[in-house]
Amino acid sequence: YAMLLSLIFLIVLVAAVVGFVFRHEIKTNFESNLNLALRDYNVTADRHSEAVDTIQRTLHCCGVQNYSDWERTEYFSQRGIPQSCCKNQDDCSEEDLKDPSKAKLKVFVDGCFFLVTSTMESKMSVVAGISFGIACFQLVGIILACCLSQYITNNQYEMV
């Protein structure tokens, strides 16, 4: 049991170190994937499009760097900026969303990349604290399992 807990502890430790070391690559990959999701955005029930809509509605942002990122997409040429960028859903018409100068007043102007990464970084202390707490419980479990094993081994030799 102690060996199994030690293995799990080492896997979690390696994952944390790798995540910390490669955090810049993770950000770069996220940004490129967000750009791809915008480029391939469509109205159908596509997972990536739903994720983009959810991010934009939840964080009150639009596009990757700002709302003008949508102007370079195929979706914009057909339908304008998506409804998920609107500050007020009732006040956004399709004609307004097709005109960037009118849309600027009706949509969130901040980009999602900065907001997502800053939100993740602000929550990192909570994640690190929880991970540290779990690691401490695992270490206590490893120590107690070793103590129990030692106790059982010592009692068996005394009984013989």
Q: What is the pLDDT of residue 92?
A: 83
**C-beta separation of 42 from 49 below 8 A:** yes
Residue ranges and CATH numbers for the domains of the chain are 1-158 (1.10.1450.10)
Contact 70, 38 (CB under 8 A): yes
- Cβ atoms of 107 and 91 closer than 8 Å: no
What confidence score (pLDDT) does residue 7 get?
92
Which structure tokens are listed for 47? 């997972």
What pLDDT is recorded for position 143? 93
Report the chain (160 residues): mean pLDDT per 10 consecutive residues: 89 83 85 88 76 90 90 87 88 84 88 88 81 87 90 70
pLDDT of residue 158: 58
For tokens 């760097």, the residue is 65
Report the 10 Å Cβ neighbour count for 124.
13
Q: What's the rounded Cα separation, in Å, for the pair 88 and 54?
A: 15
Segments in the chain forming alpha helices (H): 2-21, 23-39, 47-59, 74-79, 94-98, 100-106, 112-159
Cα separation, 49 vs 41, whole angstroms? 5
Cα distances (Å, whole numbers) of residue 111 to 34, 64, 115, 117, 130: 11, 5, 7, 11, 30
* Structure tokens that stand for 57 in this block: 């509605």
pTM over 0.85, yes/no: no
The CA R_g of the chain, rounded to the nearest whole Å, is: 25
